[in-house]
Structure 1
Amino acid sequence: MVMVEKDQVGGREFFSIVVFMIATKATDMTTTTLFGDTQNASWMVIIGSFLMILPSFIALNSLLKKYQNKNLLEITHLAFGKWMTFLIGSMMFFIVLINTSLETRSYTDQLITMNFPKTPTFILYLLFLLICLWGAKKGWESICSVAWMIFPYITLALILLVFLLTKDIVFNRVFPLLGPGTWTILKTSFNYVSLFGDALIIAMMYPFVKDHKTYTKSLFGALAYSVLIMAALFLSYALLFDYQSVGKITYPFNEAIRLVSIGMVITNIETFFLTFWLLSVIVKFAVYIYLVSKVFGFVFHIEEFEHTLIPITILILLIGLLPENQVDNIFVLRKQMLSYGKYLMLSLPLFLLIVVKLKEAVKG
């Protein structure tokens, strides 16, 4: 039985969803690619990328306030018309679909490498997607409720992790403060603005948030909170491993939780943190699968888009199995998706706002 959206969600639920979608990127192989480009100044790139894409989010928020109860693509339809909306919606669908496929495969490889080395990739990947699909089929309201329910515990676990890591960090590793230089930080920040692209896609669910004030406070609060978490984790990696080592460590987050211990008695507690990490990742990809189906349903005029959740998940599985190894997945395909996706994330809200203002001027 397919569950559908019923009631609008509140600010706390929406806040936790956005945090899970964005902040978890500090725990995957994005860390390795980012440290390879900017070394110990990678935490600055997180802040720089957010500041660069912030004007687009402000423009989009202004449009959502103007057109109450309409999502991103519905506003695009009003501004650009049917065929342009079909093109933009198709681009968005393929970007989110491929990104979800690559990310789910990346997290599966991460689990296999660090925790289940003898498990076949297909089996673990299939099991992982089935759990995420089960969450997606519960519907938007249920996903958000679960996200808020586990959010406080994951936050406490994260605070505990950062606190326990302080005994192993070396503060001098933060220098040179600007790493490879200001220009490299700025250029890399621009290349990685897609890290926050989820805040654009989540606008598809705008009509299913309580009201505009709730949406605005929750979204920008979650973005600021995610930037804080990601910057703190990236800085912790640099102080813990040194930037030269982080660039060679495939999964810095997993390596970090293996170093954690409580005194001389309680050691090897990485399973505790791994459990909370898995919960947040499952919620994240349940939302991803739901959003891919949502965009697909809008583009192809499928009102009960929830019925496409299973076919979409199968498609994600097939695409995710295409990369032969982690190098192809992360250092080639994922990096290209981040590079190409940034142009849509940066330009679409601004173009929409300009077109809407011009139409108003012509009518006025």
Structure 2
Amino acid sequence: MYFTKTPTIIVYGILMVICAYGAKRGLEQIGSVAWLSFPYIQFSFFVALLLTMGQGNANFLFPIFGPGAWEIVKESSLKLSIFGDFVFLFFIIPYVKNTNVFKKGTWIALFVIVANMVIGMISYVFLFDYTTVMQLNYPFHEVIRTISVGFLANLETFFFPFWIIESIVRFAAYLFLTALLFGHLFHIKHFEYIIPSLATIVVFIGILPETPSDTIFVLREGLLWGASPILFLLPFLIWVIAKVKGVLKNE
């Protein structure tokens, strides 16, 4: 969508070098950058969504519950992509000084994420209609390419820097968590040193030929159906194992 004339390996390479540097700096640096950039990212997000209200169609929102409230509950319970991110987030508990603060921050983050996703989906449907949104890989980018303010038609140049910062923080956190998990699995004490290698692997995966969009939707559907039960049962399984091994008694 962006930098169409730039070789893919250059785009991925620059992005992953920056993300690897951030991940190598550690969890504290990632958190600091995320905390500093969060208000600006939220501001740009809501500005984009407010502009859609004046250019969309309110009739696209009806019926509010789509195929029905029960269908929404069932589908959301079987596709736990957000829950999976929070499961991975709990890998950093050994590096947290105050677990109570961490729990409180997790609940606040869950509320903010759910609110953002609900408001975002409402705005996307408001602008494009449900059937179109279901076929969009990047609905937010389509929104900022569509909306305009007076004579300013190309507003994506305003929102793009905020999206870049958010992407760097997000991928840096994913790299750190991946290296952390890899280090624990293979008993690597200084797991930070494998972050550049993981970033290199991501670059080579990223330059593989793109799959058609329809195939991506099918693969994502199968992945969610297969991974959701595992992610849901994983915390209970870990708790049972800890109970059997007596880890909870020692604490």
TM-score, length basis structure 2? 0.88
Match of residue 32, structure 2, among 141, 145, 152: 145
Aligned to 2:64: 177
The letter for the 2-side match of 1:281 is S
Asked if structure 1 preserves the Cα contact closer than 8 Å seen for 2:55 and 2:147, the reply is: no
CA–CA distance in structure 1, aligned partners of residues 98 and 155 of structure 2:
42
Q: How far apart are residue 165 of structure 1 and its match?
A: 1.6
2:81 maps to what in 1?
194
Q: Which residue of 187, 191, 194 corresponds with 1:308?
A: 194
- Over 3 Å counting, the alpha-carbon distance change for 1:255 and 1:152 in structure 2 is same
* CA-CA distance at 1:329 after TM superposition: 7.0
Match of 1:233 in 2: 120
| Cα distance, 1:130–1:177 mapped onto 2, change above 3 Å | same
Q: Per-residue deviation at 1:359?
A: 6.5
1:197 match: secondary structure: helix
Cα separation, partners in 2 of 1:143 and 1:327, compared to 1, 3 Å: same
% identical aligned pairs: 40
Partner of 1:165: 52
- The match for 2:225 is 339
Q: AA paired with 2:237?
A: F
**Is 1:294 aligned with 2:180?**
yes
Distance in 1, Cα, partners of 2:159 & 2:59: 27
Deviation at 1:265, TM superposition (A): 3.6
> CA offset at residue 309 of structure 1?
0.7
Question: How much does 1:254 deviate?
Answer: 1.2
Cα distance in 1 for partners of 2:15, 2:96 equals 28
CA drift of 1:323 comes to 5.3
Instruction: For residue 131 of structure 1, give the secondary structure of its aligned residue in structure 2.
Output: helix
Query: CA deviation digits over 1:77-103, x for unaligned, max 9?
Result: xxxxxxxxxxxxxxxxxxxxxxxxxxx
Task: Tell me the distance in 2 between the aligned counterparts of 1:311 and 1:221.
Answer: 34
Residue in structure 2 matched with residue 120 of structure 1 by the alignment: 7
1:335–1:314 Cα change, 3 Å: farther
- Cα RMSD of the aligned pairs, angstroms, is 2.2
Distance 1:322 1:333 in 2: 16
Amino acid at match of 1:314: T
Q: Could you tell me how far apart the structure 1 residues matched to 2:192 and 2:180 are?
A: 8
Mapping for residues 208-219 of structure 1, pairs under 5 Å: 208-219=95-106
C-alpha distance in 2 between matches for 1:284 and 1:315? 17
Report the equivalent of 2:164. 278
Q: Is the 8 A contact 1:129 1:313 kept in 2?
A: yes
Contact 1:174–1:239 (Cα < 8 Å) also in 2: yes
The residue that corresponds to 1:79 in the other structure is none
Contact 1:170 1:240 in 2 (8 A): yes
| C-alpha contact 1:323 1:329 (8 A) present in aligned 2 | no
Shift of 1:244: 2.1
Aligned residues: 247
- State how far apart, in whole Å, the 1-side matches of 2:98 and 2:163 are: 30
Aligned residue type for 1:294: L
2:155 to 260, 266, 269: 269
How far apart are the structure 1 equivalents of 2:128 and 2:151? 24
Shift of 1:331: 2.1
* Unaligned 5+ runs, structure 2: none
Aligned equivalent of 1:132: 19
**In 1, are the aligned partners of 2:78 and 2:229 still within 8 Å (CA)?**
no
The 1-side partners of 2:60 and 2:219 are apart by: 31
Determine the structure 1 residue equivalent to 2:91.
204
